[in-house]
Amino acid sequence: MAREADMVQEPRGDAFRGHRVGIAWLTGPRGNVWHNGGTGGYRSFMGFSPLRREAVVVLANAALAAVDAIGAHLLDPGISLQ
């Protein structure tokens, strides 16, 4: 299973602002791997740092764009909340 997890995280193309995208997982310029989304008035963010072996999940029962900023900041306090 670890091999498959590595395969889906492997960046396969450019996304935006230094981020790269694998199979449904985005890899940030700081090495964090994450995915976000929303539907029906809900929003979610899940991310992890393979280097630090830490992960965070943020769930909201409202369609708040701030969920992504909060999740990224919790995962890496060096990332601004803005």
Would residue 26 count as lying in a domain?
yes
Residues 72, 78, 81: CA angle, nearest 5 degrees? 50
Tell me the CA distances in angstroms from 20 to 1, 26, 39, 46, one per residue in order.
22, 6, 23, 16
pLDDT one-digit tens code per residue, 18-44: 877 767 788 888 888 999 998 889 999
Which residue did the predictor score with more confidence, 80 or 13? Answer: 80
In terms of residue numbers, what domain contains 33? Answer: 2-75
Contact 71, 47 (CB under 8 A): yes
What's the confidence (pLDDT) of residue 35?
92
What's the confidence (pLDDT) of residue 17?
76
Ranges 2-6, 68-72, 75-79: which has the least confidence? 2-6
Residue with tokens 């981020």: 19
Of 36, 34, 38, nearest to 47 (Cα)?
A: 34
Would residue 82 count as lying in a domain?
no
Q: What is the mean pLDDT of residues 47-76?
A: 92
Q: Give the total number of structural domains in the chain.
A: 1
Which residue did the predictor score with more confidence, 50 or 3? Answer: 50
